[in-house]
Structure 1
Amino acid sequence: MGRGMNMRDARYFAILLLSLLSIGCTASVPQMISYQGRLSRADGQPVSDGTYSLVFRIYTQETGGTPLWSELQSVRVTGGLFNVLLGSYNPIPDVAFQGDTWLETQVNDTVLVPRTRIVSVGYALVAKTAENVPDGSITAAKLAAGAVGPQAIQDKAVGKSHLANAAVTSEKISDSAITTTHIRDGQVMTNDLAAYCVTNQKIAVGAVTWDKLASNAKLMINVKAYGAVGDGVTDDTAAFQNALNAAAAAGGWIVWVPEGTYKIAGHLTIPAGVTLEGVFRAPPGRNYAGPYGTTLLAYEGANNEAGTPFITMSEHSTLKGICILYPDQSMNAPVPYPWCIRGTGDDCSIIDVLLYNPWNGVDFGTYPCGRHYIRGLYGQPLHIGVYVDQCYDVGRIQDVHFWPFWTQGLIAYTQQNATAFKFGRSDWEYVTNTFVLGYKIGYHFVRTENGNCNGTFLSIGSDCSDIAVRVDSAAIFGLLITNGQFVANASPSSVAVYVGPDGGSVSLVNCAFWGASNRIATIEGGHVKFDCCNFMEWDKNNTGEYAITASGGRLTVQGCTFVDSKNRVKVQSGVTAAIIVGNQGMANSDVSNSIGTKCSIANNQR
């Protein structure tokens, strides 16, 4: 059969072949469907060879409804033809083959209609009439799994001697079939229970007392037990907050949020000691159909940046495995919203969280947030990604990735207006494995009324920025930036590193700089050290810019490599002292020196 659709300048024609032989097959049936089709342009010619993103879903109704199963595949198309096995990455559940089901196909952002009904192939319908089988000729080896139901077996006809070891699994036991009268004391141990199989509804009131809990037991509340629906339409704000409050009243439990899309029309507060945890899926590509995993839809606060944050975290609280999306945010002209997440005390943790499109991402600065912890934070913040201030004990940030996956249409906007990381007062900040793309400032260090920052920054990167690293102020103990990679080309005046008059001590070790529209570094103050760094591709407009220009403070450049045969280092009269030694790709004479003997120049080799 064939179907067509417009997809920019393309149409899609698909042929569906089902490889499900559910009756009469001797081998195990894979839970997969063979799907073949042809992708062509509007003129009927096949699309260009390449890889396309296709999303497949199975429903129990021809239109509307909630999918039983879905899967995203990157499909190779050659001559317009493709062939995929549905279920290769996400096995299709048995329920998808019970009753009437329909298959929906989506190519990039376009969903094909109508859906395709799934039917059996001819030889899988009836193998042979059962009445023609002689008595005794059917042995256990000839029976398909599940072929003999309980109605065909007399009570107590099957004893232990008839069962192979481990033959009776939990899937083969009806709900409530086994009661306490069938189980000897001490027979059910912790290792015999599947994760999360004992829910609130299965525990009698008062049955669990404190003496029955391990000292390190993790207690969990399911948000759906408090009325959360998760259909993306019903407002689940009250259900979430009631569950969070109950977890706090119980002494600090986990509030579990099953996979689904939850509308939060208001805002939430995570009480002290409570964890809000969902199902985290790896961040999708920007062509994926929409949010998945545990996703919260945030609506409150448009055009009110000073409003109540979407999620307020109390001390010792955790946000884990959650995706947050602002459905009403514009992809063309973004509007301010309040902070997406704000910490209000020490020991706040954010783990495996995806922020699709917040105006401001994480605020660990308005209130003291010592020992804050971020691990696995992804998204496209449109104004500020992470803000740190008033951290009076070591903060940790690792594995953060900010990039334009929600929409590439706002890259120019964020390159002119947005900051990925902003650091005020932090008494020792550890930042590791972070990357940002398409921001005006990648990493911004400032002095607030509370002070400024010192810390170590390992394996960090900023690409397509206006200023990759901007240091307006740093604590006397200094900033140590190691193994960084920085590209600044968002505007004709872009620089990879800027250190202002109040810059403080800044060390850049084993870092790489390239692709700068203008110069690589502008130094106006502080004590800035480049050690074993690599410089290339600066002064793209060939205006005679130097890779490094210092007009104030102190400068050290040693053991570095300058790849391009352009102006390298310029030391202007306002510099207090400079050391330019042991560099490759430049001669001693390549240093423009305006401070005489206060600049030590030696052992540089072109």
Structure 2
Amino acid sequence: MPDARISELPVATTLGDTDLAPLVQTSGATSVTRRATVAQLRSAVLVDRGAHVRDYGAKGDGVTNDAPAIQAAINDLKAKGGGTLHFGARVYRIASAITISDATIRLQGAGFTEGPGAGQGTWLLIPATGFTPFTFSGVYTRGSAVRDIAVQQIHTAALNPSWAPNDYDYVFRVEDSLGGVDFDNVFLCNINRGIYCRNSGRLDIRRLRGQVFTCGVEIDESLDVPRIHNLHFWTFLTSNSDVVHWQQAHGDAMIFRRVDGVFIDQAFVLGYRSMFRFAASAAGNTTKFYIGQAYADFVRYAVWIEANGTDGQIANLTSQSEVFDGGGPALAGSHGIFVNASNTRLQVANLRVDAVEENPIRVAGSGNRLDLFALRCVRFNSQNNGAAAIHLADSGAATPNTVHLGSPPLLEQSNSAPVVNSGSNGILAAGAPAGRAARPGLMLGSTDTGLFLPASGNLAGAAGGVEVLRATSAGSVTLGATPGSHALEVATPLGTANRLLISGGGTGAPVTLQAQGADASIGITLTPKGAGVLRVNTSGSGNSARIQGGAAGTAVAFGADSSSVDSNVTVSLVSKGSGALAATIPDGFVSGGQARGANAVDWQQSRSISAHVASGNAAVIGGGQNNTAGSTNSVVAGGNTNAVTAGAGWIPGGQQAASQSNVHRGAWSAGRFTSNGDAQSGEFVLRRQTTDATATRLTADNSAPSNQNTLNPPSTGSYLCRLMVLARQTGGGAGTAGDSAGWTAEVLVKRGTSVATTTLLGGGGSIAPTLNDAAAAGWRLGLAADTSNGGIAVTVTGEADKAINWVARVLSVETVG
């Protein structure tokens, strides 16, 4: 048909890229007719107007891997200086990585239909894990964009309580661009992780919607004000409770690490562990964030701060924390705001928290400050365990946590719960109160309970419309009622350095009243008025202790009070455990003396050295001055400068007596020549039992003879002794029980500088009884010098097959020199 008109040609069907069309090309005055493909014509017409993925072989059939064609188009645009890459209204299968590096490329779709799967518009289908679908990197990528595109992934797990998503990487990664990449009108449906941005400031996300499982947006090292506007994460794919329960346990809608000045507005999420999670990375933490309007529904935490030093502002936030499809119960451990960090700063203008298990606001760590200007808490403390609306952790020695309320909080719950928890050093502060007792200016829990200003410079507290506390600018505090009718008053004088601490006690422990302050030693004074006395009475008892001061020149008194029920009341001083009783406080100095022995009693109040105390276990000093009871069970009844230094010795009084080295002996003196004990009287008691006719030594402790349990003068000492010895048969096969014998004898012993020089002057040898039964006539007492221990050997001899108890009392006159 060489002469046919164009109108006579057959109508073309759907055009293909390889279809041909005539084209007249002019070169100067010459015109030449040539053929051109549709693809050539489209490329020429749309030059500098972007490219289309179909020009590079993308099929958009949902089956072919279109990633290589898209990458080719991106590379071509990069070579041309960047531009817009168009996607038609098709499903593009992305089965390998696509990288936009150092090129400003805008991925422009044709919109989408919101829904659980690919509908009309542009859809990117990602069928498998193991790669990052889109990566933007390099400084020339700044200005790139993704617009009007929907993304879908395939997750293969069965819908049951064990459901979990396939572990896809982020769909879009923006890394090391140092500047802004825009996302506008992007739909993430059935996506594990959405957008990740690192080391790229001015990220701008607008109209981001969809259902993501693990994380929707994560930003790190963004130092120049990223923006997120109009974000909506909802159950677009599925409302299956197993899927949403997984999200509530593991999913974070937005994660911010090192981010400076992020702006977020008009955000809504449903069914996540957290809506805003402020974490940290090696680069640092988020500062100066701003959230305009946000609504978190079915989330465990609306705001979760876990990075130290995070700070930011929230204008309007609503949070609700129910179990999804659970009929009303709150998620375990849920909070509207959860600060699990230290030294954070958060300002919230309007905050509503609904349906949390315990605390709408929970602050852990230390040094955190929250400023809340309008707080409403609805349906919290669901376990009815007294959980407070605001929980402030005790920071210990670190800086306390603080919450400042700009207005009284509105608490709406069916059970009783306090505003803030007890048992913490955390601080809850509010604006200055005003009003009257019946209706305080700052109300807590009800309109008639809180703080008010009764007068200038005064602050008062009311409970149930009745004043119970008032503090004045002069430093006094009255408790119990209005001043004048109050029960307790605390007055703080100027320049106070010391204070009184009254503490409660745990189970089985007492309450305490302690002096504390700057001084090393601080007393406590309890002063009755006039002639009044101080009475101490255990609840329910009929007898009272009485403590009474005295006027000048009179005594003070401690004892049983006359108001006691019993006519005769015993007064007991009781120490704890093996503690001692003492008249002075042991301080290691002369004033109080050294520590007393276990279970010792020391009523001595005057001493010349700190060692003049009852330092032996169970030792006793009854009084006097400068006495020492330095061994177990030793006793000094009184006197002056007496010393018992061996076990169970005793001194009844006098002065300058010494027990020397002998146990179980007494000594007393009226003075001395040179040293204590050189002019004194003494007494010893010796004992032993015999069962045969073998000569046996009597000793003070019924043990083998030594230099401590026998009659041993000190070096260069002499004893004149009078002995009374008694023997009585108590058993045995021979003789008769009860047969007895007795001896009286006198002996003088002296000792030089060594034990070997000990001699006996008179009274020695074997001595027959002075008085005796006939059957005891053969028993004998022996006295001899003991040159092994340096004293008198008192020896007794009984009879075979007779058990005989021997007891000797020895009275001595002693001198040394």
- The TM-score, its normalising length taken from structure 2, stands at 0.45
Match of 1:499 among 333, 339, 342: 339
* Structure 2, gaps ≥5 residues long: 1-5, 9-19, 27-37, 324-330, 394-399, 432-440, 452-458, 466-817
The answer to whether 1:273 aligns with 2:104 is yes
2:445: which partner in 1? 586
Residues in 2 aligned to 1:247 and 1:437: alpha-carbon distance in whole angstroms: 39
* Mapped contact 1:522–1:549 kept (Cα < 8 A): yes
Give 1:604 deviation, angstroms: 11
Q: 2:392·2:426 contact (CA, 8 Å) conserved in 1?
A: no
Cα 1:536/1:208, change in 2 over 3 Å: closer
Q: Secondary structure at the match of 1:413?
A: helix
2:313 aligns to what?
A: 480
The whole-number CA distance in structure 1 between the counterparts of 2:282 and 2:392 is 28
User: 2:300 corresponds to which letter in structure 1?
Assistant: D
**Which stretches in structure 1 are left out of the alignment for 5+ residues?**
1-148, 152-174, 182-198, 210-217, 302-306, 593-599
SS at 1:427 equivalent: coil
Deviation at 1:226, TM superposition (A): 0.7
1:335, distance to aligned residue in structure 2 (A): 2.0
1:298 to 108, 120, 126: 126
Q: Give distance in 1, aligned partners of 2:320 and 2:464.
A: 26
CA contact (8 A) 1:587 1:604 kept: no
Return closer, same or farther for 1:492/1:451 CA change in 2, 3 Å cut-off.
Answer: same
2:94 is the alignment partner of 1:261 = no
Query: Which letter does structure 2 place at the counterpart of 1:533?
Result: L
CA 1:584–1:296: 2 relative to 1, 3 Å? farther
Q: Deviations over 1:461-517 (max 9, x none)?
A: 2110112211112646x2101111111234232111111232510111112221223
Higher helix share: 1
Displacement, 1:179? Answer: 7.9
- 1:319 corresponds, among 143, 146, 165, to 146
Residues 1:583 and 1:405: Cα distance change in structure 2 (over 3 Å): farther
SS in 2 for 1:308: coil
> How far apart are the structure 1 equivalents of 2:447 and 2:97?
61
Aligned partners of 1:567 and 1:590 also within 8 Å: no
Would the aligned equivalents of 2:193 and 2:212 in 1 still touch at CA under 8 Å? yes
Where relative contact order (Cα < 8 A, 6+ residues apart) is larger, the structure is: 1
Q: Which amino acid is the alignment partner of residue 385 of structure 2?
A: T
Deviation at 1:542, TM superposition (A): 2.7
Q: Runs (4+) of structure 1 moved beyond 6 Å? A: 175-181, 588-592, 600-606
Q: What displacement does 1:413 show?
A: 0.7
Between 561-570 and 522-531, report the one with greater CA deviation. 561-570
Match of 2:407 among 554, 559, 564: 559
1:262 positional shift: 1.0
The answer for the alignment partner of 2:380 in structure 1 is: 538
Indicate conservation of the 8 Å contact 2:448/2:464, yes or no.
Answer: no
Q: How does 1:222-371 map to 2 (within 5 A)?
A: 222-271=52-101, 272-284=103-115, 286=116, 290-301=118-129, 307-314=130-137, 315-316=141-142, 317-330=144-157, 332=159, 333=163, 334-344=165-175, 345=177, 346-364=179-197, 367-371=198-202
| CA deviation map 1:40-66 (0-9, x unaligned) | xxxxxxxxxxxxxxxxxxxxxxxxxxx
Cα deviation for residue 224 of structure 1 reads 0.4
- 8 A contact 2:449–2:463 mirrored in 1: no
SS of the residue 1:473 aligns to: coil
| Equivalent-residue separation in structure 2 for 1:293 and 1:561 (angstroms) | 48
How much is the aligned-residue C-alpha RMSD, in angstroms?
Answer: 3.3
TM-aligned CA deviation for residue 564 of structure 1 = 1.8
SS of the equivalent of 1:569 reads coil
Return the alpha-carbon distance in structure 2 between the equivalents of residues 223 and 208 of structure 1: 13
Distance 2:77 2:446 in 1: 67
Identity %: 23
Counterparts of 1:276 and 1:330, CA distance in 2: 31
1:21-420 alignment runs, 5 A limit: 201-202=40-41, 219-271=49-101, 272-284=103-115, 286=116, 290-301=118-129, 307-314=130-137, 315-316=141-142, 317-330=144-157, 332=159, 333=163, 334-344=165-175, 345=177, 346-364=179-197, 367-409=198-240, 410-420=243-253
The answer to whether the 8 A contact 1:438-1:464 is kept is yes
Aligned length: 393
Measured against aligned partners, the alpha-carbon deviations of 1:158-190 in whole angstroms (never above 9, x if no partner) come to xxxxxxxxxxxxxxxxx9799899xxxxxxxxx
SS at match of 1:383: strand
**Cα distance in 2, alignment partners of residues 604 and 370 from structure 1:** 54
TM superposition shift of 1:538: 1.3
Alpha carbons of structure 1 residues 238 and 511: separation in structure 2 relative to 1, 3 Å: same
Distance of aligned partners of 1:203 and 1:417 in 2 relative to their CA distance in 1, 3 Å threshold:
closer
| Alignment partner of 1:569 is 2:419 | yes
Q: Is 1:470 matched up with 2:304?
A: yes
Looking at structure 1, the residues matched to 125 and 21 of structure 2 have their Cα atoms a distance apart, in angstroms, of 37
Does the aligned pair in 1 maintain the 2:305–2:341 contact within 8 Å? Answer: no
Residues 604 and 348 of structure 1: CA distance in aligned 2, closer, same or farther (over 3 Å):
farther
Letter in 2 for 1:466: R
Matched, 1:457 2:305: no
Question: Using a 3 Å threshold, how does the CA distance of structure 1 residues 202 and 360 change in structure 2: closer, same or farther?
Answer: same
Pair 1:403–1:337, CA change in 2 (3 A)? same
Deviations 1:389-417 (A, max 9, x none): 10111111111111222122200111111
Rounded to whole Å, the distance in 1 between the matches of 2:107 and 2:464 is 58
Conserved 8 A contact 2:128-2:154: no
Letter in 2 for 1:480: Q
* 1:544-588 Cα deviation digits (max 9, x unpaired): 222212125111122244142632411545445331346667349
What is the CA–CA distance in structure 1 between the aligned matches of 2:227 and 2:463, rounded to whole Å? 38
Deviation (angstroms), 1:270: 2.5
Match of residue 655 from structure 2: none
Whether 1:549 aligns to 2:408 is: no
CA contact (8 A) 1:419 1:444 kept: yes
How far does residue 531 in structure 1 lie from its aligned partner after superposition? 0.8
Residue number in structure 1 paired with 2:260: 427
CA 548–576 in structure 1, closer or farther in 2 if over 3 Å, else same: closer
CA distance in 2, matches of 1:503, 1:446: 14
Aligned to 1:143: none
Which has the larger Rg? 2
Q: Is contact 1:569-1:591 (8 Å) kept?
A: no
Deviation at 1:541, TM superposition (A): 3.3
Q: Secondary structure at the match of 1:484?
A: strand
1:518 aligns with 2:345: no
Secondary structure at 1:492 match in 2:
coil
The aligned amino acid for 1:267 is A
CA contact (8 A) 2:271 2:299 kept: yes
Which whole-Å CA distance do the structure 1 matches of 2:232 and 2:211 have between them?
Answer: 9
